[in-house]
Amino acid sequence: MKKNSYLFVIQLISLMMVFTYNIVLARNLGPAEYGDFSTAFSFVSIAYVICLLGADITAFKFIAIAYDKKNIGEVKAFIKFVVVTTVGISCLFYLICFSTYFIVIYYTSIKTVHPVFLAIVFIPFMSLCFFFYKVLISLSQPILSNFIYKLMLNGMVFLLLMISTSELMQLTAKIAIFMVLVPWIVVLIILLYLVIKTTQLLYVETQIIKPKSWIVAGVSSMPFSLSLMAIANLGIIAAEFFLHDEQMVGAFASASWIAQLFNSIFVSLAFTVSLSQASVYVENNQSAGLYALLKKHLITTSIFSLLFLITVILFGKEILSLYGEYYTSAYSVLIWLAIMQSLIVICCIAIPILNYMKRYLLTIIFSVAVIVLILPLAYFLNIYYSEDGIAVALLIAVLIGFLTPQIYLFLDMRKKALAEIIKGTSNNS
């Protein structure tokens, strides 16, 4: 309980910093430039998850179990495998993006370079930073990992943005991208050092790697990781493509970031607290323990989600007005996105657990459904309902891709837990 309290405080302070520096960005950039910044950041947030091939989720299983068995050689092999694949896929992103850059500059009339072309440089650093954050959690150091990845990272971003908004510098979307993403490199170095120090990786032999099992587990869980990270970001990208008003893109982005703050606190907290324990329950076939964990998660997240929704409904316009008066036009968008993020928080651990149970086909189907549905739904609903239609499209995708597997897993574990109890009772008789 004490550990959970520390984690919650870390997440809360981190939330305050992210919330504050987004207000600083929105006020200094204006809705149109803030929309460009948000689109660029959304793109690289999706890209760095793709580069990991699901390793951020499978780390909880492979790293936690191998470390628990003192099998550091396997930990080292898994980390080396992830680093190599991340760098390789990042190079493909570089090739695609720089080719697009030259086509845009030399073969079109567009001469203003979008900040996304600066942001893509940071993709591998963000990928590995996020991965080593999950590795450190898997090594039973959740408080330290969250302190570094949440507080230290956002603290550095906050400090750099405060400097960039001084009279010495004119803040633009490109400068903002640089200020926000450079701290990821610093935090990556710190996390890597701590992982090496904790496991003594440099002093153990690398075991024979087993990439087939890692790739199968990782690729099957990657769509979930991508859908979890990409939902809000795809919404912002859809707004950039489909909305005719550039300023409304910025307003949509402000509503998206506010709703996503709730997600970032409680999804991260749920993963930190629940997934390592869930992997142990699955490994030991303890259905009753897993069912109890699911119930506890459902009750806790439902209470906090309800409080969040009430806050958004009552004070949403006032919160948006902190970004600037124009941003209050996204109040209805904020309500839809708050409902969506609440459902994600409640349902977030279902697909990773199904993945641990090797129900890979189910995890792929549900996760891919989220990603595939968003843009087509956003396009058609935007025609009739504009920015609200894009927000509703995200909510529909979440209902199908997150709520459905949550119901399926809960009912399945309930059935198995009851059977386990009945079997235990008959054996005692």
pLDDT at 229 (0 to 100): 73
For residue 54, give the DSSP letter: T
Q: How confident is the model at residue 193 (pLDDT cuts 50, 70, 90)?
A: very high
Q: How confident is the model at residue 382 (pLDDT cuts 50, 70, 90)?
A: very high
**CA distance readout (Å), 114 to 36, 49, 318, 417:** 7, 21, 31, 53
pLDDT at 377 (0 to 100): 93
Find out whether 406 and 367 touch, Cβ atoms under 8 Å.
Answer: no
Residue among 425, 309, 347, 333 at smallest CA distance from 388: 333
Give per-residue pLDDT as tens, 78-108: 888 888 889 999 999 899 888 887 877 777 6
369 or 127: which carries more pLDDT confidence? 127
State mean pLDDT over 134-160: 88
pLDDT at 244 (0 to 100): 83
332 CB burial (10 A radius; 0-12, 13-18, 19+): middle
* Residue 284 reports pLDDT greater than 60: yes
Of 26-35, 266-275, 338-347, the least confident: 266-275
pLDDT at 171 (0 to 100): 82
Q: What are phi and psi of 17, to 5 degrees?
A: -65, -45
326: helix, strand or coil: helix
pLDDT at 251 (0 to 100): 93
State mean pLDDT over 339-368: 87
pLDDT at 333 (0 to 100): 95
d(CA 392, CA 34): 22
* Residue 342 reports pLDDT greater than 90: yes
State mean pLDDT over 216-220: 71
* Residue 266 reports pLDDT greater than 90: no
* Residue 234 reports pLDDT greater than 90: no
State mean pLDDT over 171-183: 90
State mean pLDDT over 282-294: 87
Task: Indicate the Cα dihedral angle 146, 164, 121, 144, nearest 10°.
Answer: -10
Give the distance, in angstroms, between the CA of residue 137 and the centroid of all CA atoms in the same chain: 15
285: helix, strand or coil: coil
State mean pLDDT over 294-306: 92
Give per-residue pLDDT as tens, 53-68: 888 877 777 777 777 7
d(CA 175, CA 161): 9
Look up residue 24 and give its two tokens.
């600083």
pLDDT at 427 (0 to 100): 56
Q: How confident is the model at residue 255 (pLDDT cuts 50, 70, 90)?
A: very high
* Residue 426 reports pLDDT greater than 70: no
Task: Indicate the Cα dihedral angle 421, 424, 425, 427, nearest 10°.
Answer: 160
State mean pLDDT over 362-391: 89
Q: Is the dihedral of CA 293, 294, 297, 302 positive or negative?
A: negative
State mean pLDDT over 230-237: 85
pLDDT at 2 (0 to 100): 66
State mean pLDDT over 390-418: 92
* Residue 351 reports pLDDT greater than 80: yes
- The mean pLDDT value of the chain amounts to 85
pLDDT at 207 (0 to 100): 66
Q: How confident is the model at residue 425 (pLDDT cuts 50, 70, 90)?
A: low
* Residue 184 reports pLDDT greater than 80: yes
d(CA 11, CA 262): 10
pLDDT at 167 (0 to 100): 63
pLDDT at 221 (0 to 100): 66
State mean pLDDT over 8-24: 85
273 or 390: which carries more pLDDT confidence? 390
* Residue 424 reports pLDDT greater than 60: yes
State mean pLDDT over 315-337: 94
